[in-house]
Structure 1
Amino acid sequence: MWLTRISVGQPVFAAMVMIAITVLGFASFARLPIEQFPDVDFPVVAAVVSYPGASPEAVEADVIEPIEEAVSTIAGIDEVQSTARTGSALVVMFFDLEVQSATAAQDVRDKMAAVEARLPDGAEDPTILRFDPAELPVVSLALSGEMEARDLTELAEDVIAPRLLAIQGVGRASVVGGTPRQIDILLDPDRMNAFGIGVEQVTAALAAENRDQPAGEVDTGSTVQTVTVEGRIKRAEDFLDLPIGNQGALPVTLGDVATIQSGQGETTSLALLDGERALALDVVKQQGANTVEVAQGVRAAVEELNAQDMPPGVHLDIIRDNAVEVEQSYHSVQNMLIEGAALATVIVFLFLNSWRSTLITGLTLPISVIGTMTVIYALGFTLNIMTLLALSLAIGLLIDDAIVVRENIVRHLRMGKPHRRAALEGTDEIGLAVLATTLSIVAVFLPVAFMEGDHRAVLPPVRGDGLGRGADLALRGLHAGPDAVLGLVRPGGGPAGA
């Protein structure tokens, strides 16, 4: 075969090709993200509408039916499930797997914009939610200590969250269970009556005065500058000087009818640690970021924050780290690959009783696995359970072609033929058989492309890995095998183990 003739005729070129494939494999391996499962995009979109006080029957007739009628014309929609409850409606739309979830969500938003006019007056605007596995937190942290809830919230939002966002690959750091700080204005009813000031005047003055006002532009001929009158209050004490009305010719300020104190806002979420009130921070990675690298960066940041930035008595702890399972799964399958390769090499040595033959066939194992990393990287896959499973399934097939080619070449050597002639004729005799074996391996993985159901989104890494491995098997068997035999088998074709 032409590949064999190139390998035998130009061994240096053949060796360089193998080295180039290996280098590309190492470079691709270093860039591959590590995940537990493949990056799956399930196009599921939900529309939530609040209709306070409405019965389930009214919700179904006035909210759900118009929404179902509108979304039923969206291309690619597979199934619509609706739930009517007292005061709310939930419409979940399942799309075909070929549809991108972002595209599906945008199509639903467009339809919701058209159907909002048909909803009853008491119904609120629809909220569109998209299922995104990447939105699940990679690491969850807990902040607890001997501080007020509002002080812990300020520490989490102003110190911890910015530090976490600075980590490469972190997309969001959300605070759960926080209590925001606010300024409470306590009105004195008696003084308000004495000055003739109403509550509406106070709220109107706060809304009108506590903000920056645009004041036009200044044109200097060569430049135009925007002018803004800064009116936003910087200090809490300055609220007391805010004018809220007049009594005769004298102005009435907020300090004449009210006092201020530092308070805390309404708590909209709750986080508990060992039954005690705490704050939680959920770290979400960016799309396509490496889960393991993000988690390692968060762990280092937590140690740094605890050592340098935490007040006495305050602790920042990791309560959930999803990257641990990813690392354990990855290392478990990786060890299985190494053990399988080692066992296959030992079995070859036991049956062939030759370290030279074992070396020739064993060379195909690491080279082929490393070369397959280029295929995985080019197809946009990650190192996860599915891709590593495909590697482990084919680990026993990797050396088959090399063994067959090597044994047939050695048979021709023992017939007294020169090395070059033995390599060419030995490979030509079984070239079609090796090719047929490779094509059968490819045929095993090919039906995965035509499988139906949700598992289609999970199995492409197995299909792509198997097809790439099949092509690599033929390359190693017909290219590396003859080249290695010429370099390692002793002249005369004597006993291989001698």
Structure 2
Amino acid sequence: MTFGSLAIKRPVAILMLMAFVLLLGLVSLTNLQMDLLPKISPPILGVITSLPNAAPGEVATLITEPLEQVVGTASGLKKISSRSAEGTSIIILEFNWGVNLDAVREEIKDRLEFLQLPDDASKPMVVKFDPTRMPVLQITVTGEKPLRELQRYVEKEVAPKLDSIPGVASVEVTGGPEKEINFIIDEEKLQKYGLNSKVLAGLINLNNFNLPAHKVSKGDKILPVRVMGKFRNLEDLENIVVGMEWGEVLIPIYLKDVVEIEETYGPLDSLSRTNGLDGINITIQREGDSNLVQVTQRVLEMINKMEKAGDYNFTVTLNQGEIVQKSINGIVQNLIIGAFLALIILLVFLKSILSTIVITISIPFSLISTFILMYFTGLTLNLMTLGGLALGVGMLVDNSIVVIENIYRHLQQGEELSEATKKGVDEVAMAITASTFTTMVVFLPVVFVGGLTGELFGELALTVSFSLLASLLVALTVIPMLSFLLLKYQRKIPQFRVWGIYQVLLSYPMTYKGITLFLTVAIFILALSQYPKLGREFIPEIDEGSFIINLTMEEGTNLDITNEEAKKIERILEEYEEIEVISTRVGSRGGITGIPRTDRAEISVLLKERGATKEFISKIRENLTDINGTLTFAQQNEFRDMMGSSELQMIIHGPNLEGVQKLTEDIMKALEKVENLEEIRSNIEGVKPEVQVLLDRNKQALYQLTTASIAQNIKTQLAGERIGYLYEDGKRVAIKLVYNKEKEEGKKVSVEDFDNLKNLQLTTPMGGRVALGEVAEIREAYGPRTIYRENGQVTSIIQGKITKGDLGTIQKEVDKVISDLNLPEGYSTTYGGASQLMEEGFQGLNLAFILALFLVYMIMAAQFESLLNPFIIIFTIPFAGIGVIGGLVLTGKALGITAFIGIIVLTGIVVNNGIVLVDYINKLREQGFKKEEAIIKGGSVRLRPILMTALTTILALIPLALGLGDGAEMQAPMAIVVIGGLLISTFLTLFVLPVIYYYLSTKDKF
């Protein structure tokens, strides 16, 4: 049974199938998760190891380099880079896409088991990079309460409630002081009882455990035995027996007898403010399989209840859920507008409301069918999948247009509705199937292109393919059935009166065939001459209406001074009405490295409106020139946070640190000549001021002091020694041993008292005391803060902010500047970040484009059972490049990954009209028409469906091309490319393809 017969004989069955698909589609839609971007799992592992108190050079030699040798031969490894900082080694392993990361992780763990590291080093921790662990909400809590009370409220009341919300993975509270329990050591008391700080620390540690102790039987049960020694409260801690006093009666010596116990709060190494008010920050992460929008909405509902019930204010400084919702709404809005514009075209051409309604049904029905396939293949609603639907919405009616237009043609010839319906669908079934598969098949290489590009655009490709497949099934079943049921109520079949005009216009290229081809080739060459002038980019940035100002003060600047400069910036920003929220964080607790940075501040700015963030940054930049320190600006968006910014990034490679530092300085100076490149900086943070203690080996031996014992002595007396934790109300409180720093002369021994450091008293193994200055020389010196390496070489990274233009254009200017520098032997430069991603993306898509051409040709050859006919049609693809280049030039858009995807999409679209035209011309020639007569008649008959399918697709993409709504920035270049290419290809199909057909189709009949 043919499709035409099915539509006439089984309309009820088709209606029931429609109802089933509609129901299943709506259920699938309600269960689809929402995200900003597809779920991307970059093949990246990190190896983190600590070596307490070690300088960066020591960390590099003792930890990083041995680790690199062990993990550097892991399966599928693409690049290895490392960062050696004070006390911490971080190695980043980047693998080829498609590698089984879990298996590689276990392989690396097994290798590390046999590696010998210094005794003080921690066990290397192998971690997996997980984008879903990025914050989805950041909230600042403020109120007219002391900061400690505010912190206590957030930790005890707010955080537990938020943590219990379904979908919330973790709740992190920062911004307040950390509670500590200090044991203030009195050396005289310790000596009196024959104790020292090392023994004391050991006793505390050995008693702060819960340990298993095998099992016992009780009746028919086996019960585990546990020794409960972990401290439950401060009283437990105070009453540890640290010794015995001998006499007539043994008297226990308790910890509280030999130390002064103090509950206090550690010094602040970071501050937080929102709109000028001190506050506590809450950072929320979601579970990987949860619905982002739903999770953020639940959290916001909870904090709204708490805000109404208490005296505290909750300010949301980051809401990824809102960003996702607005972006999705923007794309949906563009989709609806595009569909509406496409329907107007249908109404204009068909001149029939009834026929327009019949075709219109194909849009929602195809979309709903797509949701079913999305749900069962695990896709989410995100910018890429919805962008795919917006891209394809105009094409969803193409097949239906061809079917109903052919039914019209048979009705105009006087045939009965049933016969016209049957012939109308059966005649074009093969043609529209072939055209649909040529469009779908171009996405196959994109899905398998691999890398970040494949991960990002694979879901777009699948979504478009799903929707086109659904539209084909609708056109072959639903449209004929509805036409058979409804078109009988149409009184008059509308006539298409442009045929005559087209025949007159077509006569000119058919008369002047050589001139037509010459002009076409000339215009094509002219367009190609503009190709090198096109800008290059990776992916357009999404404007989320927020940005960050990073303040970097001089190395070692204390928190108070950094805070004052941050306040100056805040006061300037408060003058701008466009700003909704100013959130400031001064200093940091060190993150993975654990090294506090008091010379940094981050000011996050949330604007009231989105869409002009870059322009606003340029405006405020001029008013921040008097700020001390270095300022850098960056727009916030999830893609940037995940994969790095669109800034220029250059990596310097060399054999040693000094040479790399010198070359970095020279290149940075040279880059100052490049226009539109500002905020030039490097990750070489200069030298770090430090105090070096140079030991006198003879005196060291005299007092029986080891290097390790001297270092530990100094650290304990200056900063205290963390020896364990006590848990109070579920919160971990550090236990520290600290020395009573007040000396007889009333001075303090601290970091600030450099001149008094020599008086610091060291305890010898025999219990004696000796001043540090007696066994060592103390001096001020400088050393590197961080050492970076990549693939075994020392590296540095230079970054620059592009204020105008595109990445590719700026990169060309940088290449000119660098070529004037004579790089020393053994040193080289490469591009990283967005430049590297762009290069890798273009390489993959170039291959995808070539494969798409072959696949399109093969499908057409199979349909026509001819090698020549597809060759004729495929000429429209390169000539469509005229429209592609013209569209990008006219709109000022750069050629990026999204635009390149548009070119690949065009490969499948532009041949569709050619297929319909050539297929019908061949049918006419089989009926006995002469070649030129068949060309003119075939073009006239297929004129309406060709114009309708092209214009519906073009108009449906206009909202996306204009970048209307939130989140449309990413798809705009793709839409522009498709519109430009389709405009030109439609013209070529109607006027130039007939000429090419005439020359290449040499036989009178087929």
**What TM-score results when the alignment is normalised by the length of structure 2?**
0.45
Distance in 2, Cα, partners of 1:391 & 1:473:
12
What displacement does 1:480 show? 0.7
SS at match of 1:281: strand
> Which residue number corresponds to residue 34 of structure 2?
34
Distance 1:28 1:55, change over 3 A: closer
Q: Which has the higher mean CA deviation after the structures are superposed, 98-107 or 33-42?
A: 98-107
1:168 to 166, 169, 174: 166
Distance 1:3 1:108, change over 3 A: farther
SS at match of 2:12: helix
* Deviation sequence 1:448-470 (CA, Å, 0-9, x none): 23536531111111221122122
Query: Structure 1 residue 374 and structure 2 residue 372: aligned?
Result: yes
Distance 1:87 1:154, change over 3 A: closer
* Deviation sequence 1:163-204 (CA, Å, 0-9, x none): 112112111111223434344445666777777776667656
> Which residue number corresponds to residue 357 of structure 1?
355
> Which residue number corresponds to residue 422 of structure 2?
424
> Which residue number corresponds to residue 110 of structure 1?
110
Distance in 1, Cα, partners of 2:131 & 2:390:
26
Distance in 2, Cα, partners of 1:220 & 1:108:
44
In the alignment, is the contact (CA less than 8 A) between 2:447 and 2:462 conserved in 1?
no
What displacement does 1:129 show? 3.6
In the alignment, is the contact (CA less than 8 A) between 1:435 and 1:474 conserved in 2?
yes
SS at match of 2:396: coil
In the alignment, is the contact (CA less than 8 A) between 1:292 and 1:326 conserved in 2?
yes
> Which residue number corresponds to residue 495 of structure 1?
492
> Which residue number corresponds to residue 299 of structure 2?
298
* Deviation sequence 1:404-427 (CA, Å, 0-9, x none): 211222333344433332221221
Query: Structure 1 residue 135 and structure 2 residue 133: aligned?
Result: yes
Distance 1:110 1:200, change over 3 A: closer
What displacement does 1:328 show? 1.5
Distance in 2, Cα, partners of 1:344 & 1:69:
61
Distance 1:253 1:148, change over 3 A: farther
2:438 to 437, 440, 443: 440
SS at match of 1:94: strand
2:482 to 465, 484, 487: 484
In the alignment, is the contact (CA less than 8 A) between 2:407 and 2:424 conserved in 1?
yes
Q: Which has the higher mean CA deviation after the structures are superposed, 234-243 or 463-472?
A: 234-243
Distance in 2, Cα, partners of 1:345 & 1:400:
12
SS at match of 2:113: helix
1:456 to 426, 450, 454: 454
* Deviation sequence 1:189-235 (CA, Å, 0-9, x none): 67777777766676566556666677876533323445667665655
In the alignment, is the contact (CA less than 8 A) between 1:240 and 1:259 conserved in 2?
no
* Deviation sequence 1:298-329 (CA, Å, 0-9, x none): 11111122233x4x4x4332221122221111
Q: May I ask how many residue pairs the two structures share in their alignment?
A: 491
In the alignment, is the contact (CA less than 8 A) between 1:201 and 1:245 conserved in 2?
no
Distance in 2, Cα, partners of 1:256 & 1:53:
35
1:408 to 396, 406, 409: 406
> Which residue number corresponds to residue 321 of structure 1?
319
Q: Which has the higher mean CA deviation after the structures are superposed, 133-142 or 44-53?
A: 44-53
Q: Which has the higher mean CA deviation after the structures are superposed, 236-245 or 92-101?
A: 236-245
Distance in 1, Cα, partners of 2:381 & 2:165:
22
Distance in 1, Cα, partners of 2:217 & 2:437:
76
Distance 1:276 1:188, change over 3 A: farther
Distance in 1, Cα, partners of 2:440 & 2:120:
60
* Deviation sequence 1:85-113 (CA, Å, 0-9, x none): 67654432211111244444443333333
Question: Which residue identity does 2:381 align to in structure 1?
Answer: L
Question: Which residue identity does 1:15 align to in structure 2?
Answer: L
Distance 1:86 1:140, change over 3 A: closer
Question: Which residue identity does 1:410 align to in structure 2?
Answer: Y
In the alignment, is the contact (CA less than 8 A) between 1:153 and 1:180 conserved in 2?
no
In the alignment, is the contact (CA less than 8 A) between 1:371 and 1:472 conserved in 2?
yes
What displacement does 1:381 show? 1.3
Distance in 2, Cα, partners of 1:203 & 1:48:
27
What displacement does 1:70 show? 2.6
Distance in 1, Cα, partners of 2:261 & 2:389:
68
What displacement does 1:482 show? 0.8
CA RMSD of aligned residues (A): 3.3
Distance 1:153 1:9, change over 3 A: same
Q: Which has the higher mean CA deviation after the structures are superposed, 94-103 or 379-388?
A: 94-103
What displacement does 1:31 show? 0.9
Question: Which residue identity does 1:20 align to in structure 2?
Answer: F
Query: Structure 1 residue 282 and structure 2 residue 283: aligned?
Result: yes
In the alignment, is the contact (CA less than 8 A) between 1:49 and 1:127 conserved in 2?
yes
- Percent of matched pairs sharing the same residue: 28
Query: Structure 1 residue 77 and structure 2 residue 74: aligned?
Result: no
Question: Which residue identity does 2:416 align to in structure 1?
Answer: P
**What TM-score results when the alignment is normalised by the length of structure 1?**
0.86
Question: Which residue identity does 2:492 align to in structure 1?
Answer: P
- Mapping 1:245-260, distance limit 5 Å: 245-247=243-245, 248=247, 249=249, 250-254=251-255, 256=257, 260=261
In the alignment, is the contact (CA less than 8 A) between 2:447 and 2:454 conserved in 1?
yes
Distance in 2, Cα, partners of 1:79 & 1:199:
46
Query: Structure 1 residue 383 and structure 2 residue 381: aligned?
Result: yes
Distance in 2, Cα, partners of 1:121 & 1:206:
21
- Mapping 1:169-184, distance limit 5 Å: 169-184=167-182
- Mapping 1:91-110, distance limit 5 Å: 91-110=91-110
In the alignment, is the contact (CA less than 8 A) between 2:35 and 2:380 conserved in 1?
yes
In the alignment, is the contact (CA less than 8 A) between 1:153 and 1:279 conserved in 2?
yes
Distance 1:306 1:194, change over 3 A: same
Distance 1:378 1:268, change over 3 A: farther
Distance in 1, Cα, partners of 2:473 & 2:299:
43
Question: Which residue identity does 1:495 align to in structure 2?
Answer: K
> Which residue number corresponds to residue 473 of structure 1?
471
Distance 1:153 1:62, change over 3 A: same
Distance 1:214 1:434, change over 3 A: closer
> Which residue number corresponds to residue 263 of structure 1?
264
Distance in 2, Cα, partners of 1:85 & 1:262:
32
SS at match of 1:454: helix
SS at match of 2:26: helix
Question: Which residue identity does 1:427 align to in structure 2?
Answer: V
What displacement does 1:361 show? 0.7
Give the unaligned 5+ runs of structure 1: none
In the alignment, is the contact (CA less than 8 A) between 2:392 and 2:468 conserved in 1?
no
Distance 1:293 1:127, change over 3 A: same
Higher RCO structure (Cα 8 Å, ≥6 apart): 1
SS at match of 1:458: helix
Distance in 2, Cα, partners of 1:91 & 1:379:
35
Distance 1:496 1:183, change over 3 A: same
In the alignment, is the contact (CA less than 8 A) between 1:28 and 1:377 conserved in 2?
yes
What displacement does 1:276 show? 5.7
Give the unaligned 5+ runs of structure 2: 496-1006
What displacement does 1:22 show? 1.6
* Deviation sequence 1:456-497 (CA, Å, 0-9, x none): 111111221122122112101110111001111126x74147
SS at match of 2:172: strand
Question: Which residue identity does 1:402 align to in structure 2?
Answer: S
- Mapping 1:58-77, distance limit 5 Å: 63-77=63-77
Distance in 1, Cα, partners of 2:118 & 2:261:
42
